[in-house]
Amino acid sequence: GAVVSQHPSWVICKSGTSVKIECRSLDFQATTMFWYRQFPKQSLMLMATSNEGSKATYEQGVEKDKFLINHASLTLSTLTVTSAHPEDSSFYICSARTGRHGYTFGSGTRLTVV
């Protein structure tokens, strides 16, 4: 089945630094990728939708200059958290469309900003 590989699985960074999270589709081409954020014991909140070769569409309230999304190829999408602060600490998850009714999720990245 379709697999989305997400790395790193966890990362700790200092406040003010930037962190990049990668999601790769291993055996299919992901034309559309979704990025979610999940706080403890809460649901997944969609941050942005990216289509290969075009700019990402951000949800209301998500700072596009802080959460940079790049989807330069059909198999790789990246989320860069710039100038991270402790309130950015969260669980970040990517998801890719695998067909009309298919969505495959990455395993998530636990970001801790200290």
Partner 1 sequence: QQQVKQSPQSLIVQKGGISIINCAYENTAFDYFPWYQQFPGKGPALLIAIRPDVSEKKEGRFTISFNKSAKQFSLHIMDSQPGDSATYFCAARPVRDDKIIFGKGTRLHILP
Binding positions for partner 1, rule: CB under 8 A: 6, 32, 34, 41-44, 46, 49, 91, 93, 95, 97, 101-108, 110
Q: What is the smallest separation between the CB atom of 88 and partner 1, expressed in angstroms? A: 18
Nearer to partner 1, 34 or 84 (CB): 34
The 10 Å Cβ neighbour count of residue 46 is 14
The tokens of 35 are what?
């990025």
Nearer to partner 1, 15 or 27 (CB): 27
Q: What is the smallest separation between the CB atom of 74 and partner 1, expressed in angstroms? A: 16
What region does 27 belong to: left with phi over 0, alpha with psi -120 to 50, or beta? alpha
- Among 34, 33, 38, 4, smallest CA distance to 110 is for 38
